Structure 1
Amino acid sequence: MATLVTMLLAALLVLVPGAARACACGAFVSAEDAEVQVQREVAAISWDGQTERIVLSLSALSNSGEAALLVPTPAPAQVALAEEGLFEALEEVIAPEVEVSYYWWPRSDEGDGSPTSGSDVAVLEQVDLGPVEASVLSASDPDELARWLAEHEYVMDDALAAAVAPYVSEGWYYVAVRMTADQSLSGQLPPLDITFDSSSVVYPMRMSAAATTPQHVRTYLFADQRMTRADASAQSTTVNLRYAGSPEPAAVTNGTLSELLEAGPYLTVVDQSFYAPGAQVVSDFVFERSSNGGDHREVVVEERLLLIAGLPAGPLALGAGLVVLVVGALGLVWWRRRSAGPAPQRAPNCATETPAPVET
């Protein structure tokens, strides 16, 4: 990690209705009778050797107008709203190369803070960001953290409390992002920009062990070379390489992405899925330099029906071939007849027959 210039990772999580409130970066807490469903989560993380930056974008549904996202961090964090468009720009960068394969025959399917709490939970800072309110918390006891959340009308169930406990024992801090709305949360929530001091790049994943449904995570890593997962959870699932290369800075128009490319010009993108999070997620994500070199870009083969003058090439070629065959056969017959010439005529018999003798 000491040789890492900077790195970025983004986690993509899609949960079906009824899923647990745990997500890749932390967990949602809300009123006891409220339901929160995380539909999509994307997080981008960069590190300059001292400061870690997380740009987090969420899409969630809830039957309550209020919810809080709890994100553990190893040091107190600063929170702001992030620039829009980063993740769309990232998707453009890693878009697979398209190769076209043609087929000839139609198919059937076409058509500043000081503590404000006297308990074991301290509110280090509160930031009003308009549609969201962010609180930076410290906690020395997981039960006290759960009690504090309950006093503020948020409930952390037993599974989440158990997942938080290791962070508490290690002295981590928490960003509680309270999203308020006049109606139930729906759609994309404002992207958050979270920064904190860190001696290494760690993406908090251990709270995902409380999830009861599969989690699919995509990580984007910006560094000076190709990167790979180096944590215990990487051994419990398949890590699939999606992209490895140096994007062209001149082709990037998003300001945040340009900053990340300036710090770490090499991008590595990997996907991983956890179908039994409680058993598979045993650590946070950690990355190191990969011993495997070489660029990689996915190739998508796009199949298209080959057309000639707007018509399917297969039937058209078959029809043309039949026409040529018939015409050729007729021409062969005609040529043979022409080459043979007119039929020979039988010559008349000029021999004189001797008349039979006449009897007298």
Structure 2
Amino acid sequence: MVRALALLLMLVSLQLGSLISPAYACGCGAMVPSKESQVSVDRETSVVDWDGRTEQIVMRLTVRGNAPEAAWIMPVPHRASVELGDPGLFSELSVLTAPEPVTRHYFWPRSDDWPFADSGNVGDGAGAPSAGAPAVEVVGRERLGPFDVARLAATDPEALQKWLEDNGFDLPDRLATALKPYVEQKWEYVAIRLAPRGSGNPLSGTLEPLRLRFASDRLVYPMRLSKLASTPQQLGLYVLAEHRMEPSGPIGGDAPEVTYAGRIDPRSAADDTDALEGLTGADPVFLTAIEQSFPHPERIDGDHQLRATDADTPYRTKVYRNRLLTVGGIPAWVLSLLGAVLAAAAAVLLVRRARRWRPVPPPATVTVPPPLG
């Protein structure tokens, strides 16, 4: 899954034909365009759901280029089922994990405030193949929307390469070599032929999401193939599990950053869709949103192994908005200055009044002594 994009990235670095470097890739496999054509993934968003026994990954790609078709190869640890995903899932999760707006007030006016500005507006600021099985075994094939999906079991990457070539795609030797660790671990592959609905039209825009489901006793997000990318990569994950999850290590990238963590109720999360409940079921689940940068993808040294954290500590990113402090719509600093002026005026009046009503002392009395004699 994640490797498919990684593969895509690796193909970029290999400069397969005229493959364009993707702006976003999460290691979910490799994309192979037809000869003398271009295709790139501008963004890939993944949702991972794991209940301790089964892992589901829903991916949505935004692509551009002039390729009339392309092949997308994605390694998976066990045999996978593939179906179309619900686009509403991504909008639901985007709303749930949106940063919390927090207002911070400031007292003195700034450049965007009156009287400095023209107005008083405030600036806001798999199982192994059996003995004797073919090197590449097609274990399933179906048409899903615009996708022709083939699920493969391969005993060696060279055989996978030949299968792709026989189906009209070239797999670079370097990519075949990068697949060897997955072959040694007896992983399988999902090979998807991407083609627009209209004949002759290039692959472009946001494709329908795909949902993969396979058995797994551990939460793994493949990233190994991303090391073949020639440009910095960005990983974004929505992880749904019983507890808050974290990668066991950075695997060659910057430290992963949690942008949201909290227990959610899928039944109350839906707005116009019940996509989240359709993926996880009706029981509450812990949602962890993770972002990670890979400035030097060549340093990636493995797949992400995600584990439960020591505590299900909630977290939500905050976005601060600065606003001028007001009282009844009047800036507090104006009221303060007005109050100070009134207090000063009152003090002056009191002083003047005190002077005006100062009591006049009585005239001094003169005592006349009695006459002598």
User: Would you say same fold, with TM above 0.5?
Assistant: yes
Aligned mate of 2:320, from 289, 301, 325:
301
Q: Which residue of 1 aligns with 2:161?
A: 146
Among all aligned residue pairs of Structure 1 and Structure 2, give the percentage whose two residues are the same amino acid: 36
Q: Which amino acid aligns with 1:195?
A: R
Q: Which residue of 1 aligns with 2:72?
A: 69
- Structure 2 vs 1, CA of residues 12 and 298 (structure 1 numbering), >3 Å: closer, same or farther? farther
Would you identify which runs of 4 or more consecutive aligned residues in structure 1 move more than 6 Å?
Answer: none
Name the SS for the 2:208 alignment partner: coil
- Structure 2 vs 1, CA of residues 39 and 63 (structure 1 numbering), >3 Å: closer, same or farther? same
Alpha carbons 1:142, 1:168 under 8 Å: kept: yes
Deviations 1:132-170 (A, max 9, x none): 211112222222322332343333334433322211222
Q: Which residue of 2 aligns with 1:101?
A: 104
Alpha carbons 2:251, 2:301 under 8 Å: kept: no
Alpha carbons 2:267, 2:282 under 8 Å: kept: no
Q: Which amino acid aligns with 2:234?
A: H
Q: Report the number of matched residues.
A: 327
Please give the alpha-carbon distance, in whole angstroms, between the structure 1 residues aligned to 2:76 and 2:358. Answer: 98
- Structure 2 vs 1, CA of residues 12 and 69 (structure 1 numbering), >3 Å: closer, same or farther? closer
- Structure 2 vs 1, CA of residues 159 and 306 (structure 1 numbering), >3 Å: closer, same or farther? farther
Q: Which residue of 1 aligns with 2:268?
A: 251
**Aligned 1:202-217 pairs, distance under 5 A:** 202-217=220-235
Please give the alpha-carbon distance, in whole angstroms, between the structure 1 residues aligned to 2:244 and 2:50. Answer: 15
Q: Which residue of 2 aligns with 1:135?
A: 150
Q: Does 1:26 align with 2:45?
A: no
Alpha carbons 1:67, 1:179 under 8 Å: kept: yes
What is the CA distance between 1:255 and its match in structure 2? Answer: 2.5
Q: Which residue of 2 aligns with 1:260?
A: 280
Name the SS for the 1:149 alignment partner: helix
**Aligned 1:230-245 pairs, distance under 5 A:** 230=248, 233-234=250-251, 237-245=254-262
Please give the alpha-carbon distance, in whole angstroms, between the structure 2 residues aligned to 1:150 and 1:209. Answer: 24
Alpha carbons 1:52, 1:198 under 8 Å: kept: yes
Q: Which residue of 1 aligns with 2:43?
A: 40
Please give the alpha-carbon distance, in whole angstroms, between the structure 1 residues aligned to 2:25 and 2:175. Answer: 7
Q: Does 1:84 align with 2:87?
A: yes
Alpha carbons 1:30, 1:153 under 8 Å: kept: no
Which shows bigger deviation, 267-276 or 206-215?
A: 267-276
Name the SS for the 2:276 alignment partner: helix
Please give the alpha-carbon distance, in whole angstroms, between the structure 1 residues aligned to 2:330 and 2:153. Answer: 69
Q: Does 1:282 align with 2:297?
A: no
Name the SS for the 1:150 alignment partner: helix
Aligned mate of 2:214, from 191, 196, 199:
196
Alpha carbons 1:66, 1:185 under 8 Å: kept: yes
TM-score by length of 1: 0.77
Q: Which runs of 5+ in 1 are unaligned?
A: 1-8, 112-117, 347-360
Q: Which residue of 1 aligns with 2:356?
A: 338
Alpha carbons 1:245, 1:268 under 8 Å: kept: yes
Please give the alpha-carbon distance, in whole angstroms, between the structure 1 residues aligned to 2:146 and 2:320. Answer: 43
- Structure 2 vs 1, CA of residues 158 and 321 (structure 1 numbering), >3 Å: closer, same or farther? farther
What is the CA distance between 1:59 and its match in structure 2? Answer: 0.8
- Structure 2 vs 1, CA of residues 263 and 249 (structure 1 numbering), >3 Å: closer, same or farther? closer
Name the SS for the 2:304 alignment partner: coil
Please give the alpha-carbon distance, in whole angstroms, between the structure 1 residues aligned to 2:358 and 2:288. Answer: 77
Over aligned residue pairs, what C-alpha RMSD do you find?
3.4
Alpha carbons 1:32, 1:153 under 8 Å: kept: no
Q: Which residue of 2 aligns with 1:356?
A: none
Alpha carbons 1:223, 1:263 under 8 Å: kept: no
TM-score by length of 2: 0.75
Deviations 1:92-124 (A, max 9, x none): 22223332111234433649xxxxxx9733332
What is the CA distance between 1:86 and its match in structure 2? Answer: 0.6
Please give the alpha-carbon distance, in whole angstroms, between the structure 1 residues aligned to 2:352 and 2:203. Answer: 83
Please give the alpha-carbon distance, in whole angstroms, between the structure 1 residues aligned to 2:154 and 2:86. Answer: 30
Q: Which residue of 1 aligns with 2:137?
A: 122
